[in-house]
Structure 1
Amino acid sequence: MLASSDYTRSKRSSQFNYSIGTGRLGLALQEEYMNHLREVQTRIGFQYIRGHGLFHDDIGIYQEVETEGRTEVFYNFTYIDRIFDSFLAIGLKPFLELGFMPEKLKSSEETVFYWKGNITPPKTPKKWAQLVEATLVHFIERYGFDEVVTWPIEVWNEPNLTNFWKDADQAAYFELYKLTAMTVKAIDARLQVGGPAICGGSDHWVDDFLTFCKKENVPVDFFSRHAYTSKPPVKTADYYYQALEPPKDMLDQFTSVRKQIDAQGFKHLPFYITEFNTSYSPINPVHDTLVNASYLASILVNASDSVDGFSYWTFSDVFEEAGIPKSLFHGGFGMLALHGIKKPTYHLYEFFSQLGDSELYRDDSLYLTERIDGTLVALAWNYSDEKGDVDERLIEFALANQSKAVFVQKERLTESDGNPWRTWQQLGRPRFPSQDQIERIKKTMMPKVETMQLAPGSVSVTHKLAKNEVCLITCLPVDDETSSYRDLDDSKITSY
């Protein structure tokens, strides 16, 4: 048990909401997508949004027009303006990811995803540079330099994988990065450009990339990487099933890469995790479950020790990398399922948005914070990857000597509370649920709320966590006004 004297107050990091990931940007033209985004922005509040497909043809920025036997380039910003206007209107800044290759600039046919993002280098590098320049200049003209200079500009996505960059050709990526970074800086040296947005398993790219930048005198303003902790999958027609490494594995990845960056002489360089989750697959059922939230709790608590900003992948199941979703719950990355149904991971993030400004204590199952007004807010979790039942975990912390009674509120995510996936199972897993079924599921998507009042004096708060439970505990003093009521007598109420 903690005693109040054990608390060491320090400023709490708020990097948990630095950025949120999204499916390809063209999805922002859908009504349900924007409804989901407004919801997470209202209740959680992210600074940036990052997604693929800025230069994909469904947005159509790069176009070639035949005029009197000549080919002329036309840059069409109709859709991207509509998308970025919508983001900025709700307080979200774009975290620009430059890619994939427009159809007219591709050097060969290789693509990724259901929506066929082309992953090849430009057949005409000069035209790629002109596309980058024209796009950024347009953004500056539309939104103002003071706004656009705050948008990080990331070059490509996971070029260390053949899925995302033809042949995972490192030399070709480095040349693309150099051309792009130089183009960005030629517009204005204050624009922030970085990369290489690699995923885990290829961290030799960290040294290789930074060595290249030093040797070639190529600008780099931040380093970006992705992180997932799922083991090799068991694949079926519609799903990936993957065991997970312990949460510490992801935290160790962050620490290791930070050390590599520093060792290369880039201690000043911000380090962003621009994608992270448990599984890297958009058809892994773990994303829909309580386990996902319980697993990620310690990541959100501890990641900021090594990382300057991180981005959960993704906010919504309006997402089509593996095709149009085939059922309500299908293993999608989103915090929100289709129809605006809140998954446990959504509530984990909302819990984080309610934590205090100061950190008092943390361990492997408890994070204790304090708000400016003195309210204590604790997050507790009990992640387990074991099959079957596990022992409850007791958490307990002390409050300082209180002259007033203390109101305690517990908001609990358990297998039976705030877990709509379970309700969907009980309804027979309707693939395309009726409105009645959707409403029944929504009635069970909120955490269970329990309240109590503790007497004045030295008190402690205890709670037993069920398997994979996540619980937000808020403690605040009570200003008791009972005595101001002249004729109040609860004993006269029937059955009291």
Structure 2
Amino acid sequence: MCTAWPCFSQSQPPAEEVVTIDAHATTTPFPHFWEQMFGSGRAILTLREAYREDLRAVKKVADFRYVRFHAILHDEVGVYNEDEHGNPVYNFAYVDSIYDGLLKNDVRPVVEISFMPKKLAFNPDALHPFWYKQNVSPPKSMERWDDLIQHFAQHLVERYGIDEVSQWYFEVWNEPNIDFWNGIPRQESYFELYDHTAGTLKSVSPRLRVGGPATAAAQWVPEFLQHTADNHIPVDFVSTHGYADDTVHNMFGTHEDIPMDDRVGRAIAKVRGEIDHSPTPHLPLFWTEWNVPGMMEARDTIYVGPALANTVRESAGNVDMLSFWTFSDVFEEGGPTSTPFRGDFGLRAFDGINKPSYYAYGLLHQLGDQRLANTSHNLIVTRTSNGDLAIAAWNLVDPGHQGLSREPEPPSVRRPAKREGRDAASRPGPRKRPAAVGSHGQTQKPYTRPGRTAKPRDRTPRPGADRASQWNSPPQPYSECPGPDSNRRLATLNRPNPDRIASPLHRASEKEIPTTERQRKFVHQKAEQINEAPHGGIALLYC
């Protein structure tokens, strides 16, 4: 048995939820689909050293294989121009630098083919309101568009080789069902763009992998797959997006009461069902953008860990890659960032500061690749390659809500005596979320092993220290789990730590960055707010 944890409901008196784990339960493959692809702003940002430092830092804690970003065809990348006679001129110098930088760091691109070069645009003034003003017009000539895609793909194959580029993915455009595409009518004009793009890519090499429709709010998938089947258009994968704070009406077309915490998992299941019932039922599904709700700057807080784990639990088996938007706050949709902790999307804040979400990914990375059946809504039980159980347990407290304060005892972890059959899980009363060790929003004393004394740390920012080394905690991935089985380990990476200012933040950089006293005070204040916000917690148990 893996402990009985007190669970405090906001509207009910304290109760207990006992979760029993059968170590001999049926297992299924559990690929780490949530950590293989990440999103990241737009193409030109990849040339910045801060971006590449963030990429390397995230790759240290996650199985980071692919990255997706917007605007490889934006004019700032310089791919397309026209001479004085109106003839196309192609320049792939920045494209090479962008993809060279990724491959040097062992990350491959998911090439989002967007946006429209102004000189190729039907409407050069069709600019999106984002700060970098991408053009969202259809091309003025499909023949010119085909020529651009042919030169682009041929250049990639010649530079990197077909064996390499065939392992990339090409996604046609971004969210054409909303204001990132102004073709009229939207769906019909996008399908025309997709048909030309997919056909041209396959003409360069049938090994190139192409897909779409890359829509917002999980829309257009049945129509897209029917269109490609009816017209014999190649499609190697389905991609779409959905965020936890997308409306139920936009994502499902209904007025159901679906909690935000469950919307992404439900939407993924919906789209998987649409693919299964389509003329091409075996296509992989890539969810190329998602994130937790953004209200109250929740994306900077420890809420992300439990929300991520819950989405992984709900999505397992229905999606092939689940791409968190984004891995870095080197991000300029609203303009350049000047301070950390603004509620942005990334795992790493401005100036290389790790957020709690960074640690959530590091924690879930340690799960095994076989999942054991379990009925709890607050656990993922896995088996590692060496036969141990790795169990993620969480307490999900939504932004704006708070659990009761308590001082929990450190848990014990026991292995049940072997017995025939499956153990029954005792879950008295209605569904409740167990309070995982180190749950945020709860008063907790620092626990030390017997014979050791907890010493308070100096909580004053060090003058002259760079933000990353100042606010990122030293690596302490495990603490021993006390109890009868002393060899059990407990990882509590995603929890508030009373000994650290901005826990759980991790040392990732030794560079010196000039920092003013005002900036240090700001980071200190935001870190304390993150540490005090009542957004639940997540822990990892090894048994």
> Shorter-chain TM-score: what band?
0.7 to 0.9
Give yes or no for contact 2:489–2:541 (8 Å, CA) kept in 1.
Answer: no
What does residue range 27-176 of structure 1 map to in structure 2 within 5 Å? 27-66=45-84, 70-108=85-123, 109-112=125-128, 113-166=130-183, 169-176=186-193
- What is the Cα deviation at residue 401 of structure 1? 5.4
Query: How many Å separate the matches in 2 of 1:458 and 1:474?
Result: 9
Query: How many Å separate the matches in 2 of 1:265 and 1:411?
Result: 47
Greater mean alpha carbon deviation, residues 293-302 or residues 126-135:
293-302
Flag the 1:190–1:2 CA change in 2: closer, same or farther, 3 A.
Answer: same
- What is the Cα deviation at residue 473 of structure 1? 2.2
Query: How many Å separate the matches in 2 of 1:455 and 1:438?
Result: 41
Query: How many Å separate the matches in 2 of 1:77 and 1:341?
Result: 33
Aligned AA (1:186): S
Flag the 1:244–1:165 CA change in 2: closer, same or farther, 3 A.
Answer: farther
- What is the Cα deviation at residue 132 of structure 1? 0.7
Query: How many Å separate the matches in 2 of 1:8 and 1:141?
Result: 48
Give yes or no for contact 1:43–1:350 (8 Å, CA) kept in 2.
Answer: yes
Query: How many Å separate the matches in 1 of 2:472 and 2:69?
Result: 31
- What is the Cα deviation at residue 2 of structure 1? 1.8
Give yes or no for contact 1:197–1:224 (8 Å, CA) kept in 2.
Answer: yes
Q: SS of the counterpart of 1:266?
A: coil
1:76-98 Cα distance to aligned partner (Å, 9 max, x none): 11111111111111111111110
Query: How many Å separate the matches in 2 of 1:460 and 1:474?
Result: 5
Aligned AA (2:156): F
Alignment partner for residue 24 of structure 1, among 38, 42, 46?
Answer: 42
What does residue range 363-374 of structure 1 map to in structure 2 within 5 Å? 363-374=376-387
Give yes or no for contact 2:304–2:360 (8 Å, CA) kept in 1.
Answer: no
Aligned AA (2:51): Y
Partner of 2:351: 339
Query: How many Å separate the matches in 2 of 1:179 and 1:342?
Result: 42
1:249-292 Cα distance to aligned partner (Å, 9 max, x none): 2111111111112212221111110111124x6x9612111112
Partner of 1:200: 217
Give yes or no for contact 1:411–1:448 (8 Å, CA) kept in 2.
Answer: no
Alignment partner for residue 415 of structure 2, among 388, 394, 399?
Answer: 399
Aligned AA (1:19): M
Flag the 1:461–1:295 CA change in 2: closer, same or farther, 3 A.
Answer: closer
The answer to whether 1:472 aligns with 2:540 is yes
Query: How many Å separate the matches in 2 of 1:3 and 1:460?
Result: 17
The answer to whether 1:259 aligns with 2:270 is no
Give yes or no for contact 1:293–1:348 (8 Å, CA) kept in 2.
Answer: yes
Query: How many Å separate the matches in 2 of 1:317 and 1:289?
Result: 14
Query: How many Å separate the matches in 1 of 2:115 and 2:109?
Result: 16
Flag the 1:82–1:412 CA change in 2: closer, same or farther, 3 A.
Answer: farther
Partner of 1:246: 260
Partner of 2:225: 210
- What is the Cα deviation at residue 461 of structure 1? 9.0
Aligned AA (2:331): F
Greater mean alpha carbon deviation, residues 384-393 or residues 327-336:
384-393
Q: SS of the counterpart of 1:161?
A: coil
Flag the 1:446–1:388 CA change in 2: closer, same or farther, 3 A.
Answer: farther
Give yes or no for contact 2:489–2:542 (8 Å, CA) kept in 1.
Answer: no
Alignment partner for residue 321 of structure 1, among 325, 333, 348?
Answer: 333
Aligned AA (2:209): Q
- What is the Cα deviation at residue 9 of structure 1? 2.8
Query: How many Å separate the matches in 2 of 1:124 and 1:445?
Result: 56
Alignment partner for residue 304 of structure 1, among 277, 291, 316?
Answer: 316
Flag the 1:57–1:4 CA change in 2: closer, same or farther, 3 A.
Answer: same
1:81-128 Cα distance to aligned partner (Å, 9 max, x none): 111111111111111110100121111112221001100100111111
The answer to whether 1:223 aligns with 2:238 is yes
- What is the Cα deviation at residue 399 of structure 1? 2.1
Query: How many Å separate the matches in 1 of 2:216 and 2:239?
Result: 9
Flag the 1:39–1:444 CA change in 2: closer, same or farther, 3 A.
Answer: closer
Flag the 1:5–1:371 CA change in 2: closer, same or farther, 3 A.
Answer: closer
Query: How many Å separate the matches in 1 of 2:169 and 2:280?
Result: 18
Query: How many Å separate the matches in 2 of 1:104 and 1:224?
Result: 28
Alignment partner for residue 354 of structure 1, among 366, 369, 389?
Answer: 366
Q: Percent identity?
A: 32
Query: How many Å separate the matches in 1 of 2:491 and 2:100?
Result: 47
Greater mean alpha carbon deviation, residues 247-256 or residues 369-378:
369-378
- What is the Cα deviation at residue 164 of structure 1? 3.9
Flag the 1:74–1:5 CA change in 2: closer, same or farther, 3 A.
Answer: closer
Greater mean alpha carbon deviation, residues 42-51 or residues 312-321:
42-51
Greater mean alpha carbon deviation, residues 167-176 or residues 13-22:
167-176
Q: SS of the counterpart of 2:76?
A: coil
Partner of 1:451: 480
Q: Which has the higher helix share?
A: 1
Aligned AA (1:251): G
Query: How many Å separate the matches in 1 of 2:412 and 2:271?
Result: 35
Partner of 2:285: 271
1:396-449 Cα distance to aligned partner (Å, 9 max, x none): 8642559xxxxxxx99574599xxxxxxxx99xx9xx98548268515597785
- What is the Cα deviation at residue 180 of structure 1? 0.8
TM-score (norm 2): 0.73
Query: How many Å separate the matches in 1 of 2:472 and 2:272?
Result: 43
Query: How many Å separate the matches in 1 of 2:25 and 2:538?
Result: 22
Q: SS of the counterpart of 1:290?
A: coil
Query: How many Å separate the matches in 1 of 2:290 and 2:370?
Result: 25
Query: How many Å separate the matches in 2 of 1:15 and 1:462?
Result: 21
Partner of 2:431: none
Query: How many Å separate the matches in 2 of 1:3 and 1:389?
Result: 25
- What is the Cα deviation at residue 45 of structure 1? 2.7
Give yes or no for contact 2:211–2:239 (8 Å, CA) kept in 1.
Answer: yes
Partner of 1:492: none
Alignment partner for residue 388 of structure 1, among 402, 405, 415?
Answer: 402
